Amino acid sequence: MEAGMASTPSPESQDRIRAGALLLASGLQIAESLVPRVPLFPWLRLGLSWAVILPFLSAFGTLPAVGLFLSRNILAVAFGGQPPTTFLISSASGAAAILLLGGPIRTGLARGWIGWIGAGILQATAFNMLQLFLVTWLLVGHGGYLFQMGPILAWSIVSGAVVAWMASRWFPPEAWVKLTASCPQAAQVGIVPTAWRLEAVLWTAVCLAPAFLDGAEPVLSILGGCAVFAMVGKRFGDLELLLQAWPYFFFLAWFHLLDTPGHLMGFGGVTREGMNSFLVHAGRLGVFLLAGRNLFRILPWNSFLSKSPWARAVSIALPLLPGLFQASTAAARESWNSRRDPGSPSYPERLLSRLGEG
Amino acid sequence: MRTFPRLAAPADVLVLMAVLAAAGWSWFSSPGSDGSKAAVYVDGKRMAWWNLEGPLALDTVEGALGPVVVEHGRGSARILWAPCPHHLCMKAGSIHRTGAELACVPSHLVVVVEGTDGSGNGVDAVP
Amino acid sequence: MRPAFRLALLALPLFLTSCNSKPVTRYWTAMDCNFDATVHGPGEGVSAAKALDLEVAESHRLDHLFTDYDASSPLSILRGRKGDTVVVGPEIALVLRKVLVSMRISHNAFDPGMHDLKQLWGVGTEKGHVPPQDSIDLFLKRRFGFLPKPDDTLPVPFRVLPDDRVLLLTDSLPIDLGGIAKGYSVDRLSRVLDSAGWPRHLIQGGGEIIAAGRKRSGPWHIGIKNPRRNDTIVGIIRCDSTCAVSTSGDYERYFIQDGIRYHHIFDPPTGHPALGGTISVTVLCPTSLDCDAFTKPLFVMGPARSRHLADSLGLQAYWIRETPDGMCSRQSLGWGDRLQASLPTCPVDW
């Protein structure tokens, strides 16, 4: 008898545990992105967020795991600035891998036929292979690219094993019950002001417009407008939010400036296209943070999105993401200090509590 | 009360061996590799670089005589147009092997395919 | 302290990715062709960038040197009157001596006086065409003094005297060193890198390659281009230490008229491009000057006439021929296991 979503008591707890898992998975994904990529082998990542997704799959089932994976991708795009093709290919491969192997892995884990290591290796192999084939077929268009299959398969063993080890440490049986208590609750929304409809439309437009613009000038000018509004309205908390989210901007700089092909500008291997790409994505993130804050304040999110539990989970997790870096380093320090104390809360519990407070 | 899942179980070894075998087979049966990016040098200065894996695209680089158009993507690169008198580089076709070069000498321009090859079948140079 | 520590941790990957011991390559243009030089570490003298700067400077000096004498243009100082003695300096004297050796040993398969003939044919330009036989005969008479038959001994255009002097034996002959100057230059460039403390390097220029020293990751591998599909190779030469490789082929400069390919490697007694069947020859030699001196003659002579010559000179050669069924090859006897090639062997009579 597996623990399913139905066995946790209330709908609110289900939202909380989803939001918690989402925050953990997204946090690991974004943190891992801060490590620079190896040239020629950009897939050489451990995929640490699978240390959350795999246990989630085991505890709650295939479809919830797909929901977690896709929501994690959406948050990673919002804060990590991946191009749409990467997002679509990663989402399609991951969802397909979970749908294909989720059931067998879950059964195998529950009956003791395979352990976390076997599950981790299988999932990593399926995901990486599907991505490689999709990229070769859609983007590259010639089969020579598949020469990377050998190294990728070998690496899947390593990454799958590492993820499995983390999963076994952080998610012993019944860990989800304890985690639910630490997960952040849905933010209490205050009285919605009467003129909210017009303001909401305005802020939605400001939030979404940069997503459709590719040039640095229009995106940066929208960002400039939001910053001026924040300063004029004396909403210094909004500007502090930008500073708090500096790791994301650092990651965007690293991701775009050094790795984008094009015409070199003459210093440090930075291309014109890379500089443009960085400014566009940094601008989009800045607008999203500043304008999103206003949007979150005035819209009753949970009533809008009540039909979709993952949409609700995203709405809980989104405003907490800017503070992720600070919360995770504090939680890591606490975990390290109390590592010899067997009964102390695990790193995921600490991280989620800290996020919930902030 | 179930005690599963555990960190490791007997069948994990089977999973490991299967993936290792697939990796080994795929490694030893793959052909010599192609390069992954093309770089353009004018007068020795690196002017631009592009990934070769990706859709076909055109780019213009300023050579000594004027703009040179390079087509790159889908694994190879070629000079589509150059302002030199005899257009020898345009007739030279496309390159895809690591270390392969296309040169427009009057433009002082070279297109080179770069990237290490994992399988060790690459050559250091082709005269 | 804490924020600074976090910042330092984040910055650490930046430093890790910046230390590399990858080879350093420089590309440049000199002597009307593209050069590139790659140095492999560790270097024992100046920095890689400085060593490559010295390379580029040396190639420009050599360009200037061979252009001062303007060896490939009608304004050559050697284009004097028959009987004149000209002082040319040690480097040009060395190259001219090699030219004479090449001419003698190859029995006229190479001649340095083909410049005007090449202009006549226009190979490699848009005006490439088969000239009328009268114009070719006129050139041959002016060059040699008579219309040569294939086995005639052709007169040399100059003699090199001691003290780096040259005695001209023909009137107004524009000298075309046929790329021998490039071979000499590549050798010189290699010596510059050696003395700059970078003994492990690879230099390419004008179809010549010199691979020097032994790189840490193993022997050098030089590819043999497929003459009909230039983006693939048909063979690999393994060099365990210093070696020079040169390739000449009919695909470098050519035009096609009436279904026949006319290329830029001439058979001097006939005044036509050599059409003996060879479409490419790759030569492995101890120095680039040797390679340059003999690659075109070996092309013109073909394997039947020159296999033993190659062996006696200490060179290895690999000839490729085009047949209706594809391509086939022949090679000299001393390759051992240094050559891995994928083409079948041609029938014995070639």
Instruction: Note the pLDDT tens digit of each residue in C164-207.
Output: 888 988 887 777 766 788 899 999 999 999 999 999 999 998 88
CA distance C94 to C88: 10
**C26-29 long-range contacts, CB within 8 A, separation 24+:** C26/B44, C26/C52, C26/C55, C26/C56, C27/B41, C27/B44, C27/B110, C27/B112, C28/B43, C28/B44, C28/B108, C28/C56, C28/C59, C29/B43, C29/B105, C29/B108
Report which secondary-structure segment, H or E, holds C314: none
Question: How big is the CA angle at A308 (ends A305 and A309), to the nearest 5 degrees?
Answer: 105
Label residue A230 exposed, middle or buried (CB < 10 Å: 0-12, 13-18, 19+): buried
Q: Return all residues near A305 (Cβ < 8 A) that are at least 6 apart.
A: A311, A312, A315
Q: How far apart are CA A305 and CA A314, in angstroms?
A: 10
From the list B47, B74, B118, which residue is nearest A151 (CB)? B118
CB contact under 8 A, C17 and A329: no
Q: What CATH number was assigned to the domain covering residues C85-168?
A: 1.10.3980
Look at C10 and A247 and tell me if their CB atoms are within 8 Å: yes
CATH 1.10.3980 in chain C, residues? 85-168
Looking at CA atoms only, how far is residue A44 from chain C in angstroms?
A: 15
3-state secondary structure of A92: helix
Q: Say if residue C11's pLDDT is above 90.
A: no
Strand C33-39 relative to strand C208-212, pairing: unpaired
pLDDT for B117: 42
Cβ of C10 within 8 Å of Cβ of A35? The answer is no
What whole-number distance in Å separates Cα of residue C200 and Cα of residue C38? 9
Ordered DSSP codes for B100-120: -EEEETTTTEEEEEE---TTS
C318-338 pLDDT tens trace: 999 998 888 999 999 889 889
Q: Which residue in chain A is spatially nearest to C9 when comparing CA positions?
A: A35
DSSP string, A119-154: HHHHHHHHHHHHHHHHHIIIII-SGGGGGGHHHHHH
pLDDT of residue C55: 92
Q: Within its chain, how far is the Cα of C97 from the centroid?
A: 17
| Identity of the amino acid at C257 | Q
Residues of A in contact with C17 (CB under 8 A): 36
Instruction: Using DSSP, state whether C199 is helix, strand or coil.
Output: coil
Query: Is C53 in contact with C206 (CB distance < 8 Å)?
Result: no
Question: Are A250 and C10 an interchain contact pair (Cβ–Cβ within 8 Å)?
Answer: yes
Give me the residue from B12, B20, B115 closest to A117, CB to CB. B12
Q: Which chains neighbour B (Cβ–Cβ under 8 Å, 3 or more pairs)?
A: A, C
pLDDT (tens place) for every residue of chain A, 358 residues total: 334 444 445 667 777 888 889 989 988 887 777 666 665 566 677 889 999 999 999 999 999 999 999 999 988 877 776 777 788 889 999 999 999 999 999 999 998 899 999 999 999 999 999 988 888 887 766 666 677 788 889 999 999 999 999 999 888 877 888 888 888 776 555 545 555 678 888 888 888 888 788 788 999 999 998 888 888 877 777 788 888 888 888 878 877 887 788 888 888 788 888 899 899 989 988 988 888 887 777 776 666 666 778 888 888 888 788 888 888 888 888 888 888 887 788 888 888 888 877 5
**Out of A115, A148, A153, whose CB is closest to B22?**
A153
The Cα C321–Cα C328 span in angstroms is 5
Residue-by-residue DSSP string for B40-68: EEETTEEEEEEESSSS-EEEEEE-SSSEE
- What angle, 0 to 180 degrees and rounded to 10, lies between the N-to-C axes of helices A236-244 and A216-232? 130
Q: Give the per-residue pLDDT at C57.
A: 93
DSSP C322: E
Domain spans of chain B? Answer: 37-114
Nearest CA in chain C to A325: C6
CB contact under 8 A, C124 and B95: no
The verdict on a CB contact (< 8 Å) between C230 and B112 is no
B18 vs B96, higher pLDDT:
B18
CA distance A25 to chain C (A): 20
Here the tokens at position A193 are 């002001």
User: How many beta-carbon pairs under 8 angstroms link B with C?
Assistant: 76
Q: How many of the other CB atoms lie within 10 Å of CB of C270? A: 15
Compare CB distances from A140 to B22, B30, B75 and report the shortest one's residue.
B75
Give the max Cα distance, chain C.
92
Q: Does the distance separating the beta carbons of B97 and C233 come in below 8 Å?
A: yes
- The DSSP code sequence of C151-184 is TSPPPPSEEEETTTEEEE-SSSPPP--TTHHHHH
* Of B26-35, C206-215, C260-269, the least confident: B26-35
Domain boundaries, chain A: 11-182, 196-299
- Per the model's pLDDT, the better-predicted residue between C5 and C131 turns out to be C131
Residues on chain B touching A145 (C-beta within 8 angstroms): 53, 75
DSSP C229: S
Instruction: Identify the CATH assignment for A11-182 out of 1.10.1760, 3.40.1350, 1.10.3470, 3.30.70.
Output: 1.10.1760
CA atoms of C186 and C202, how far apart (whole Å)? 10
Q: What are phi and psi of C312, to 5 degrees?
A: -70, -25
Residue B70 is inside which H or E element, if any? strand B67-73
State the count of interchain CB pairs (< 8 A) between A and C.
8
Mean pLDDT of chain C: 84
Compare all CA atoms of chain A with the CA of B97 and give the residue at the minimum distance: A144
Classify C236 as helix, strand or coil.
strand
**CA dist., res. C263 & res. C265, Å (int):** 6
Q: Provide CB contacts within 8 A for C147, sequence distance 6+.
A: C137, C140, C141
pLDDT given at position C136: 93
pLDDT at A253: 85
Q: Do A261 and B47 count as a contact with CB atoms less than 8 A apart?
A: no
Using CB atoms, which residue from A35, A247, A329 is nearest to C13?
Answer: A35
**Over residues B87-93, mean pLDDT:** 82
Mutate to test the interface with B, among C26, C27, C246 (most CBs of B within 10 A): C27
CB of C14 within 8 Å of a chain A CB? The answer is yes
Chain C residue numbers touching A35 (CB-CB < 8 A): 13
Under a CB-based contact definition with an 8 Å cutoff, are residues C211 and C239 in contact? yes
Phi, psi dihedral angles at B41 (to 5 degrees): -120, 135
Beta strands in chain C (DSSP E): 24-30, 33-39, 85-87, 158-161, 165-168, 201-205, 208-212, 220-225, 233-239, 243-249, 254-257, 260-263, 266-267, 272-273, 278-285, 316-323, 326-331, 339-341
Share of chain C above pLDDT 70, in %: 90
Nearest CB to A329; choose among C6, C13, C17: C6
Question: Angle, to 10 degrees, between the axis of helix B10-28 and the axis of helix A116-135?
Answer: 30
Q: Per the CB < 8 Å rule, is C13 touching A250? A: no
CATH number of the domain located at residue range(s) C24-68+179-341 in this protein:
3.10.520.10
Q: Which of A35, A40, A243, A329 should one mutate to test binding to chain C, selecting the residue with the greatest count of C CBs within 10 A?
A: A329
First-to-last C-alpha distance (Å) of chain B: 71
Q: What is the CATH topology of the domain spanning B37-114?
A: mini-chromosome maintenance (MCM) complex, domain 2 (2.60.320)
Counted residue by residue, chain A has a size of 358
Nearest-neighbour CA in chain A from C321: distance (Å): 29
Contacts of A118 in chain B (CB under 8 A): 8-9, 11-12, 14-16
Look at residue C100 and tell me whether its pLDDT is greater than 80.
Answer: yes
- Is the Cβ pair C221, B101 closer than 8 Å? no
**Which residue type sits at B44?**
G
- Mean per-residue pLDDT of chain B: 81
Task: Answer yes or no: do C13 and A247 touch at CB < 8 A.
Answer: no
d(CA C312, CA B92): 36
pLDDT confidence bin for C70, thresholds 50/70/90? low
Residue A110 to residue B47, Cβ atoms within 8 A = no
Which amino acid makes up residue C53? D
Distance from CA of C274 to the nearest CA of B (A): 21
Task: Count other Cβ atoms within 10 Å, centred on residue B26.
Answer: 18
Chain C nearest-CA distance from A39, in A, is 10
pLDDT score, position C20? 42
Interchain pair C14, A34: CB under 8 A: no
Closest residue of chain A to C7, computed from CA coordinates? A247
Contacts of B83 (CB under 8 A, 6+ apart): B63, B65, B66, B67, B68, B107
